[in-house]
Amino acid sequence: MSTTIRRAILIAVVVIAVLAGALWFAFGRGGDSPEEESTGVAVMPSDGGGEQTSTEDPTPTDAADAPEVTGDLTDPEQVALAFVEAYPGKVENIADPTFLASLKGVDASLLDEVTDPTIEQVDHSVDETYERYAFTVSGSYDGQQVQAYTITVARPAEPAEGGSEADNGINYQVHSFDWSPHMLGEEEEPGPAADLVSPITAQKRGDLMSETRTGVITQVLTFDPDESQKNRKARLGELMLEPTGVTPPLSRDGDYAMKIEILSQSYSTEVGGPITLTYGGTWVDPYDPSYNGPWSLTATITRDDNGKFVVKSVEKTPANKSNGNDE
């Protein structure tokens, strides 16, 4: 009988030990339920206890996560950081000439109200002319965390002469600036940036080139034998602010127009000057192919009284003027 009792006591002790161990394991880990543990996110000490995800506005980047400022302008992120730090101050050393020219007359005072800015890369693309990176800048505005604007930085895709593609040492430069949808608002509810004169946007940088080509350059190169000089001047006067002395290529006797092709287009803005666009191509006599030649025209862009980009003038491109990259 005593042996049976001892065995029962021994079994009871083992069971109690097992239960105690299980309880210690569960509560010793903080009492988390299985549902709370199975998030699929690895929590690191720097995460502050968990990963915060927002589908509305971004959250500030922790100081430990902020990129280190090195000043290396061959690094697109460093160019973006330099712009955020400097603008609306001087950005001549990190802005390409066209973007720099677009800053004239801009109202950037709203940026003074955006504090604690952080950047995030949101896009990267490479084509035959440029390698581009887009960075969105977020910060605190009017008591809430918002996306403020996006900038594009770019550099020629081709490395310097003699260098390999992997050793492209050309600096990146800021090419465009877009206010965020939050800052622009909607037609019914305009945002704080809706009516501001702003730097050239990524969309406008491309549109300005195509609009000028189709709406102005092709018109300047158009010849109508029945059109008087007065009527031609009036027609072109509606397309640009200043009259142009450019005449389209004509046949040897001046009776008919040449067949014209536009083969290139590029921003040719010089540092410190206005925005310029250079177009080039060839002309040939449709009845005498031996009579042919090149042509090149440069359009100068300015802003009208409402801050919109318009063509100021069109002139023959000087022989020594350097063309930029096609865009």
**pLDDT for the residue 319:** 78
Q: Could you give the angle at the alpha carbon of 10 between the alpha carbons of 8 and 11, nearest 5°?
A: 65
Question: Angle 120-182-100 (CA atoms, 0-180°, nearest 5)?
Answer: 65
Q: In what order do the strands lie in the sheet with 173-179?
A: 115-126, 130-141, 144-156, 173-179
Q: Which amino acid, residue 288?
A: D
Q: What is the DSSP letter of 215?
A: I
Predicted local distance difference test score (pLDDT) of residue 239: 97
Q: Using an 8 Å Cβ cutoff, are 258 and 250 in contact?
A: yes
Give residue 139's pLDDT. 97
Distance CA 105, CA 144 (A): 29
- Which pLDDT does position 10 carry in this prediction? 46
Say if CB 139 and CB 146 are below 8 A apart: yes
| Cβ 230 vs Cβ 301: under 8 Å | no
Token representation of residue 243? 């009259």
- Specify the pLDDT at position 135: 98
Mean pLDDT by 10 residues, the chain (327 residues): 47 46 42 35 30 37 61 95 95 97 95 96 95 97 96 87 66 98 95 96 97 97 95 96 96 95 97 97 97 98 96 92 59
